[in-house]
Amino acid sequence: MNKLNSTGFTLIEVLVALAILGFVFSSALKIFSSNALVVATLEQKTMASFVAENILVQTFSFNDELNYATGTQSQGGFLYQWERKVLFEQDGKSAQINIAISSNGIEDIYQLTSYKVLQ
């Protein structure tokens, strides 16, 4: 066989090319999988913020809601536990409202604090 007339790639060249391709694909897969975890976490926090805002709206809408309360609420297909604490200021003219959201044993996914002026 004449080596001058042979065409194509050698076995070493093919193996090196496959190794480089494998490294690139594994890096890309790791990036995409970590992005999926970040997206899931952000989705959970966004839904928890919606729950906290719903509880805050209820608290602002009704004066009889100015007390400690806990409960559950479904949002976006997830079930969230919420806890509302109300602290009255010494002058009695305002109240601090703290809302903490938890889900699946994860404490304080989202916290919301607001103030209401009392009349």
| Residue 15: per-residue pLDDT | 94
How high does pLDDT run on average in the chain?
89
Residue 69 has pLDDT above 80, yes or no: yes
- Once rounded to an integer, what is the mean pLDDT over residues 75-93? 91
CATH number among 3.20.180.10, 3.40.640.10, 3.30.1300.30, 3.90.1150.10, domain 11-117: 3.30.1300.30
d(CA 92, CA 29): 57
In this prediction the pTM is: 0.72
Lowest mean pLDDT, pick from 19-23, 53-57, 87-91, 112-116: 87-91
d(CA 59, CA 66): 6
